[in-house]
Amino acid sequence: MFSYRHAFHAGNHADVLKHFVQIQLLQYLNQKDVAYSYIDTHAGAGVYALDSAQATKNAEFDTGIGPLWDRTDLPAPLAEYVNLVKAMNPSGKMRYYPGSPYCAEQVAREMDRIRLFELHPADVRLLDENFRKLEAHQAAQGHRPTTRGKRVIVNKADGFLGVRALLPPPSRRALVLCDPPYEDKQDYKKVIDMLGDALKRFPTGMYAIWYPVLQRIEARNFSEKLKHLPAGSWLNVTLTVSTPGPDGFGLHSSGMFILNPPYTLEPVLKQVMPYLVQALGRDKGAAFTLESGDAATPRKAPCRLPSPGRAASQAVKVRCACLGHVRHRAGRAAPERRPGGRLADVRRVARNHKDVAIFAISR
């Protein structure tokens, strides 16, 4: 039950997709001057050391955050995610990687509430310790809470069950992130059951589900089951970085499925996903898909764009018939900044402070 440790996979291509989308969703919620709740059903340790024995065993970060670290041509929305990671590494060396709880803490505002669930005994201890140290550091820097109540609460509990007590939130605004390890095949069913119950309690909530794209039957049918949940609308995006081997082992592709997504998300994904394919793709199997729909209209055909190859200096035009747009990939055009939400000052914790003293890292 507790065999999965995310420290072995921190910063990989799946994390890039997940945390980039997570930040976009939180930024959208930030645009309205009303508090919201962020609920993380499988929070993990919160922060990971990329130089630890666990992370360096397979060095999966070399398939994810690594290739983006020194890029100077990042699209503006993607640069916001990369800058958040860099902010916790003030030395400039890629040493620490933030999990979804830390990303949420940095982007959410003082009035927003963060509720974290983790069942693994070692990870929940690290998660709690990380946030205690973070709060102590903020207090030492003179930060004082402006709202009553504890902003971040860590729960040693099953997130599949714990989310029920938090829905609907008092403000009727929330993002629920669900990303179980899926090592247990029952996780697929638990996600569907949890979402079915959550939508009854809070049908207008925003729900983001990360999932691996695998050959097993449960994984192949998963996104189709998500599409049939009684949400107002949905969006499904996948990122594939390489062709799966004949043995089927390894994670080559993953997806983010969002129920009740904001209208701002799809245009941003159309801009950023071709770039991620070019930057993280490892062979001709690299590609992304993007599709969306709702209960009232037919589903859009999925947008599938293959990798443009490894020649980063040559711009490649790819026309996507289903969405009617043209993408120039691997070019050096200056990125345009997306209007709307503003990323929080992610340097407020790391500035003028040695990052090693802040976090209790799993090693």
196 belongs to an annotated ligand binding site: no
Q: How far apart (Å, rounded) are the C-alpha atoms in residues 237 and 272?
A: 11
Query: Helices marked H in the chain — which ranges?
Result: 13-30, 53-58, 65-68, 76-87, 100-107, 121-140, 159-162, 186-201, 217-227, 265-280, 347-350
19 belongs to an annotated ligand binding site: yes
152, 130 in Cβ contact below 8 A? no
Q: How far apart (Å, rounded) are the C-alpha atoms in residues 275 and 94?
A: 21
159 belongs to an annotated ligand binding site: yes
Q: How far apart (Å, rounded) are the C-alpha atoms in residues 149 and 112?
A: 11
Strand partners, 289: 238, 304
* Pick from 179, 122, 120, 131: nearest CA to 154: 131
Q: Is 184 a catalytic residue?
A: no
Q: How far apart are the first and last CA of the chain?
A: 20
Q: Which of 128, 179, 193, 355 is catalytic?
A: 179
Q: Residues 6 or more apart from 145 whose CB is under 8 A from it?
A: 110, 151
User: Annotated binding site, which residues?
Assistant: 19, 42, 100, 118, 158-159, 179
User: Annotated binding site for S-adenosyl-L-methionine, which residues?
Assistant: 19, 42, 100, 118, 158-159, 179
Catalytic residues, which ones?
179
